[in-house]
Structure 1
């Protein structure tokens, strides 16, 4: 028989079997069982429907990793509305585009970020604005708790839904042009969450610490997987090393995820403060983005005593399309163990992952020949929101019907891939995607900048960081008419803080092709000459 795969199944299962068990530890110390969590979700659903929200409408959620985020997400999805999680590190102008592009009808925003929405609320289609602390915002916002208290969970009616309905829109960082809305269906989310459950070895007695942003591809699917497994969520309002170690010890955390910078931060803190590395449970950690240095992985496993796994993917792919969860392919000890764990790994169950040349043929498993990573799997997106041409391009370049990641990799004899470079003009700094094109456009507007090219440069702290090669408008590299510090402030004033450029080099020329196209590959070679590969590790 065939049963529809719906994201609502995950909370339904938890309520059926784990209703009396603790589900969530809030950032304020408040605790909820799955029955209590489910009641709050039902109330949020009822409150949305009372305000006219219907299946297919869009509900934006702008929140750090609090219980409100989980309640708003599941509350929206139970009505058949489309959950639109927003990166809380963006600018008001970014939110204006995202809310208008998605056509959001409702916005829930945490009090710390709601002012960014208030600044552009007259320019967006939403007419319902909810926050968890209206007193902290200048403007007319509904109080989250009152929103729930005024609703009767018995009034909420779940509509008929299909596994092929779009249920979330996750926005990319806009590496080329405007951000793209990645449409994911009940089916793609459900099957991806099942893959996460399998390859992250999730169990019902796991305690998951939210060091990974919930907005980032729905927290890599963990808003579903942890919930459906009946495990416990420990919420956070950001990542501070002291708080992470304290939560691990006091809440008996068994699992956490994040960018490699989280591991580096924890390592530095531990060297100076000697915290407890675990509570009553052994700890597992998964990293994604740029691979951590093998020394960081070695320290994580040997000093912290945590089991490390590498994950690879993209917003369009769930993200999980490769993992180092391959114990029979990795020795139990020795230096080779850590260099193999540093690789992006092999495809998860039910996923076809290939590295192909320009003709769409598989590259040999010689760990030398570079090709592009392409993928087919049930976790890959349905389409881009209102962008049919971009959707067509993503699935029909070297191979028809395969999603093209834009990442270039080699493959070893066991089929484990290792990313070497990128086709896209993208920088991954501390786990965040940054468009070099966006940075160039911003810097071009400065009167002292005649021409500019931005590339990723190595960074011990962030893996890689934006670096700008600038030809001064006055042609004088010794006295360019502007300082690097002034250009950094210029980018900070116009972009989200994590996108600011801190490294500059004033040059007489930027290498170009005969047709005038900037040869960023040459610039990257200059920066990464002493590195093993031209992507960040750290």
Structure 2
């Protein structure tokens, strides 16, 4: 399997069909292939090497899509940088992946000087924006225009497709190595199980640096679709695009669904062309689901459950999102496993358990990552005898449906973003007024969960004024992205500790989650 086959096949079957629509730009598949081949040639001209990571720091755009095909075409690998990261986090991923080059758009050109200070091995920055190329950067369009198109290198199979950084449980992001086969398994499983029709007009409004956004884009390419792209999710822009571009299918996280439904000028007629909404990255609150089924009765809702380390795990089809499915409880299912992977539930001794028994969700198949970049010991702990341990608790019923019931890991999901409590605790614990801290997720009607920190202050601390949530957020933003920073705090005299010396986070969560169904990953 190789990613560029998605482009080759569409050029063969539908060369003059619109492949990409972005703002005032529209490209056919034939035109897209030519630009990709020239961009790949330009990357070779500046010295990109086979298997080397080329990071991209950009909002969604047509150039983003060109990059996604040109990089493997040239034999290189992705590093899709999280656009919500701080400069320190961005720099970490660049240094860790050994980046010599970086591609940025208009949004991030202004922080290049800061990035360079933290990434001394960075040789060149490619400007992929719409304005005049800043001094000291290489012009994306000039690079493409001056290069001859090259033949596809046909990297495939277990060749590295990209390093995808996800939140680190030890205080820093970890790079998930995914192969061409891994990503193509995502695309083919999604195409087979989602129920989407051929040649969808697919709207890319979810961030493409997320495995869900990328995987669903690849899936829609496999189906021969046209890619409609907006830079980011803004409800008014998304609704306008759906109406004007006759969008048929799209990926959203639940908070995005809620924002569309709550839009002041919501009009069901604006969604007349829309056939399906695939949602994932976090659970859909039942209230949001009920409202969506009521306000968008002609749209099929589909859940995708997965993680960066393996892409798509299961699909819950539109037939599981009906009043009858709601009554039966099937609406809470994460669906059935993909067709080319095996999923099983195991106990703490790694022994498979019977149907209906809660344990850890594990899986194996061609979608399992190659491993964590530069972290062989962590890889061995996560993938045991070929089985990926997800860290999610759940069960499989007699019909083979997966139900996710809890998280084994202390991960918080806020607005579709995965936030590791230990990463936030590492930063908060460095505050001079903090003696001990614990970070938990608490309920939020808007975001699903928000980050809450429980703090034991330093003994005899006189300046407790520094332990306001405003001050603490400012402190944390110097080290981590804003969405990871605590939104509320509690001061207590002592943290609850188990006999083994572990903080009892369940005890801290109880007052907030009592009487409510806890969010699950």
Deviation at 1:164, TM superposition (A): 1.7
Equivalent position SS for 2:455: strand
Contact preservation (8 Å) 1:85, 1:218: no
Q: Contact conserved, 1:8 with 1:77, CA < 8 A, in 2?
A: yes
Aligned-partner Cα distance in 2 for 1:354–1:475: 52
How big is the shift at 1:280?
A: 5.5
Aligned to 2:456: 471
Aligned to 1:297: 289
Q: Distance in 2 between matches of 1:65 and 1:414?
A: 39
* 1:331 Cα offset (Å): 8.0
SS state at 1:201 partner: coil
Residue 417 (structure 1) aligned with residue 402 (structure 2): yes
Unaligned runs of 5+ in 1: none
8 Å contact 2:268–2:295 — kept in the other structure? no
Distance 1:108 1:341, change over 3 A: same
Counterpart in the other structure of 1:437? 422
Q: Aligned residue for 2:390? A: 405
Q: Could you tell me which of 501, 509, 520 is aligned with 1:516?
A: 501
SS of corresponding position for 2:309:
helix
Bigger Cα displacement from structure 2, 137-146 vs 165-174: 137-146
Could you tell me how far 1:457 is from its partner in structure 2? 0.8
Separation of aligned partners in 2, 1:140 and 1:344: 49
Among candidates 317, 320, 340, match of residue 310 of structure 2: 317
| Cα distance change, pair 17–421 in 1 and its aligned pair in 2 (3 A) | same
Q: Residues 300 and 339 from structure 1, CA distance in 2 versus in 1: closer, same or farther, beyond 3 angstroms?
A: farther
Show the counterpart of 1:286. 278
Q: Distance in 1 between matches of 2:148 and 2:416?
A: 40
* 1:325-404 equivalent positions in 2, closer than 5 A: 325=317, 327=319, 330=320, 333-334=323-324, 336=326, 339-366=329-356, 369-396=357-384, 400-404=385-389
The two structures have a TM-score, normalised by structure 1, of 0.91
Q: Against the structure 1 CA distance between its residues 341 and 444, is the aligned structure 2 distance closer, same or farther, given a 3 Å change threshold?
A: same
Q: 1:218 to 1:111 in 2, by over 3 A?
A: farther
| Mapping of residues 465-504 of structure 1, within 5 Å | 465-474=450-459, 482-504=467-489
- The TM-score, its normalising length taken from structure 2, stands at 0.94
Which residue number in structure 2 is paired with residue 169 of structure 1? Answer: 163
1:16 corresponds in structure 2 to 12
How many angstroms does 1:225 deviate by? 2.1
Q: Give the alignment of 1:232-311 within 5 angstroms.
A: 232-269=226-263, 272-278=264-270, 281-305=273-297, 306-311=299-304
Q: Distance in 1 between matches of 2:84 and 2:368?
A: 25
Task: Identify the range of structure 1 (62-71 vs 199-208) with the bigger mean alpha-carbon deviation.
Answer: 199-208
Residue 388 of structure 1: how far off its partner (Å): 0.8
Instruction: Please show how residues 26-175 of structure 1 align to structure 2 within 5 Å.
Output: 26=22, 28-122=23-117, 123-133=119-129, 139-153=135-149, 156-159=150-153, 161-175=155-169
Residues 14 and 229, structure 1, Cα contact 8 Å, conserved in 2: no
Question: Are the structure 2 counterparts of residues 517 and 276 from structure 1 closer, same or farther at C-alpha, using a change threshold of 3 Å?
Answer: same
CA contact (8 A) 2:300 2:321 kept: no
Offset from partner CA, 1:45-83 (integer Å, 9 cap, x none): 010111122321211111121111111121111011011
Determine the C-alpha separation between the residues in 2 that align with 1:416 and 1:279: 30
Taking only aligned residues, the RMSD between alpha carbons, in angstroms, comes to 2.3
Structure 2: any 5+ residue segments left out of the alignment? none
Number of aligned residue pairs: give it.
519
**Cα distance change on mapping 1:466 and 1:75 into 2, 3 Å:** same
| Residue 207 of structure 2 is aligned to residue 219 of structure 1 | no
Match in the other structure for 2:181:
187
Deviations 1:501-535 (A, max 9, x none): 11101111111123422122222233211212353
CA contact (8 A) 2:393 2:408 kept: yes
Q: How big is the shift at 1:238?
A: 1.0
> How far apart are the structure 1 equivalents of 2:287 and 2:467?
39
Structure 2 residue aligned with 1:209, among 167, 186, 203? 203
CA contact (8 A) 1:57 1:82 kept: yes
Name the CA distance, whole Å, in 1 between partners of 2:105 and 2:202.
22
Question: What secondary structure sits across from 2:475 in the alignment?
Answer: helix
SS in 1 for 2:336: coil
